[in-house]
A and B are shown apart, each in its own frame.
Chain A
Amino acid sequence: MQLLARFLTLCWFVGLAACEPAPPDLPVNDRLGGDFTLTDQDGRPWGLGDARGRVVILFFGYTHCPDICPATLARVAQVQRHLREQGAAGAVQPVFITFDPQRDTAQHLKAYLPWFKADIIGLTGSDADIRAVAQRYGVVFLKSGAADRYDFTHSDFIYLLDAQGRVRKLYPADFNIDEVVNDVQTLL
């Protein structure tokens, strides 16, 4: 009790601002990430450098997965909607990378993604290129099942990248929408 009183006096002394919880500082994660170039839904090369100056929400998945992947896409779309309401949508670029290039061709991504109304860039490429990008982000995926019907075992983190393309935070697939919106704002 006495300590608290002393703390409050100190607060009063140094000014109120010092007593409010510090805004979450998002440290740069230099163990993960880095630039890459893959093929976008228009069939053109798209590199992370093309998003320089914008905050990027990066995530991996595949469109044949009906459960977690559309839910994640829908949540990312909700983040975009919130940011758009705050006039900040253009400052953020959602990027979806498939690990199923065989079925998720540029053409399929172009038909699939606009439905989410979030200006998502969909990236595909060769198996090797996608695996190389995944590796840099610590994403593991493993194909299993029959040749015509297969699924993936995969990690499903969402990455928040700052305007310089550096990884600043990771979220689980069922992330809290407000948390991401708030984090994005600290990077704008």
Chain B
Amino acid sequence: MMFKHFSESLSALALLALASTAHAGEVTVSGAWLRAVPPVSPTMAGYFELNNDSDSAVTLNGASADFAGMAMLHGTETKADGQRSMTHVDAVTLKPGESVTFAPGGKHLMLMKLSTVPPSGEVRDICLTFTDHDDLCVPFQVRHNDPNR
């Protein structure tokens, strides 16, 4: 009786421990997609959300995809008069618990020198690279519209 009680609380503890390790130490990418563009397009833009649920800071510094000769992190600057421009973003650092959203009209992944332009509906892996973390390679779905609007 006593023992059963003890083992029950032990397994509960083990579960708790599991749950907390699953929570800590994970940097995750969600909602990854690429904007569908005409096949003659020289560039494509990618969007995603990056969450740092680990207990150390991570720095995103680039990306790579086998169908793009070049990939960059870009930002969008809007001036007071409404003029917008793209800027090169060297790196984005996320402290533990922080997240960043790459979305249309803001930060985006810019793929250049494309060998092929994947059409709407296709899924392509893109790897996000970090200075202090393993690459995260995730599927990006090609679509016409922003899934978050």
Give the shortest distance, in Å, between A55 (CB) and chain B (any CB). Answer: 24
In this assembly, does A111 line the interface, its C-beta being within 8 Å of a C-beta of chain B? yes
Interchain nearest-CB distance for B148 vs A (Å): 13
Contacting pair B81 A155 (CB below 8 A): yes
Question: Closest chain A residue to B46 by CB distance?
Answer: A66
Residues A151 and B35 in contact, CB atoms below 8 Å apart: no
Number of interface residues of A (CB under 8 A): 29
Q: Which chain B residues border A144 with CB–CB below 8 Å?
A: 85
Cβ of A65: which chain B residues have Cβ within 8 Å of it?
A: 43, 86
A183 to chain B, nearest CB (A): 20
**B43 contact set on A, CB distance < 8 A:** 64-66
Question: Does B84 lie within 8 Å of A154, measured CB to CB?
Answer: yes
A52 contacts partner chain B, Cβ-Cβ < 8 Å: no
Contact of B40 among A66, A112, A153, A155 (CB under 8 A): A112
Residue of B nearest to A103 (CB): B42
Q: Does B32 contact A (CB under 8 A)?
A: no
Give the secondary structure class of A's interface: mixed
Q: How many residues of B contact A (CB 8 A)?
A: 30
Interface string of A112-155 (1 = CB under 8 A from B): 11011000000000000000000000001010100001011111
CB contact under 8 A between A66 and B45, given known A108-B40, A115-B38, A173-B105 = yes
Instruction: Report B's interface with A, CB cutoff 8 A.
Output: 35-45, 74, 76-77, 79, 81-86, 104-105, 108, 110-112, 144-146
Given A63-B41, A65-B86, A156-B82; 18 other pairs, CB 8 A cutoff: A64-B43, A65-B43, A66-B44, A66-B111, A67-B45, A67-B76, A70-B35, A71-B35, A71-B146, A74-B145, A112-B38, A115-B37, A115-B38, A151-B85, A154-B83, A155-B81, A156-B84, A172-B82
Q: Which residues of A contact B (CB under 8 A)?
A: 63-68, 70-71, 74, 108, 111-113, 115-116, 140, 142, 144, 149, 151-157, 172-174
